């Protein structure tokens, strides 16, 4: 189990980190999702939720493949909300919900593992974290959807501080997810050494 959780940790870290050189992602999310998929495959025997999470990860891997190359965005120019911009934002919102599906099933799988005695201390923490993650994702996507509404463009400046706050909290929560995976890995490593 420790090796599988280690794969999921490193795959998630690869997805979390974004480094671009000449608009190319040198740490492609696609590779991270493949590593996560391999880790989930090793955990399927512990919970059916890991099997369900694999489906979401495959979708995320497929969607992230074209994002290896990032087009240049000139932030000095005002952003025009064209049909393409609305379509792109809708895709990102859809991807966020697919990612939420992955995290939901992954965390439910961890909660199934947490029923076992050595992992019991992480059960409540995992359950609380999952609830917070769902609420944060839904709040972020609701604010994002408000931007898609044409009249909301005028209130975009009002929403800007809220969007910034949600982005900072989301960043912290993703780090907390990595820490939680590491905690499960540490306990499973200790159990394997016994």
Mean pLDDT confidence for 29-38: 90
Structural domains counted in the chain:
1
Residue 147 pLDDT: 67
CA angle 1, 57, 29 (to 5 degrees): 100
Residue given tokens 């050189």 in the structure block: 21
Q: Is the pLDDT of residue 22 over 80?
A: no
3-class DSSP state of 38: helix
Q: Could you write out the DSSP letters of every residue in 20-32?
A: EETTEESS-HHHH
Mean pLDDT of the chain: 80
Long-range contacts of 1-4 (CB under 8 A, 24+ apart): 1/42, 1/43, 1/46, 1/113, 1/188, 1/191, 1/192, 2/185, 2/188, 2/189, 2/192, 3/42, 4/39, 4/40, 4/41, 4/42, 4/43
pLDDT digits (tens, 9 = 90+) for 7-19: 999 999 888 887 7
Is the predicted pLDDT of residue 69 greater than 50, yes or no?
yes
**For the ranges 15-29, 39-53, 97-111, 112-126, which has the lowest average pLDDT?**
15-29
**Residue 9 domain boundaries:** 2-193
Alpha-carbon span 190 to 97, nearest angstrom:
34
Q: Tell me: pLDDT of 92 over 90.
A: no
The tokens for 46 are 């512990």
Tell me the C-alpha distance between 191 and 97, whole Å: 34
Structure confidence at residue 68 (pLDDT):
65
């Amino acid at each position: 189990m420790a090796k599988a959780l280690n794969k999921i940790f490193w795959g998630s870290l690869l997805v979390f980190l974004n480094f671009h050189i000449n608009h190319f992602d040198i740490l492609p999310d696609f590779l991270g999702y493949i590593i996560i998929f391999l880790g989930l495959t090793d955990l399927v025997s512990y919970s059916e939720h890991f099997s369900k999470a694999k489906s979401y990860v495959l979708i995320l891997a497929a969607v992230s493949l074209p994002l290896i190359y990032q087009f240049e965005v000139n932030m000095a120019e005002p952003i025009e909300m064209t049909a393409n911009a609305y379509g792109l934002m809708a895709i990102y919102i859809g991807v966020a919900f697919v990612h939420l599906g992955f995290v939901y099933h992954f965390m439910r799988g961890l909660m199934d593992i947490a029923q076992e005695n050595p992992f019991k201390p992480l059960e409540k923490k995992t359950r609380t974290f999952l609830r917070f993650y769902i609420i944060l994702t839904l709040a972020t996507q609701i604010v994002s959807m408000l931007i898609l509404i044409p009249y909301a463009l005028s209130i975009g400046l009002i929403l800007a501080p809220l969007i910034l706050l949600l982005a900072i909290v989301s960043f912290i929560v993703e780090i907390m997810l990595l820490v939680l995976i590491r905690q499960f890995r540490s306990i499973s490593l200790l159990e394997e050494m016994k």
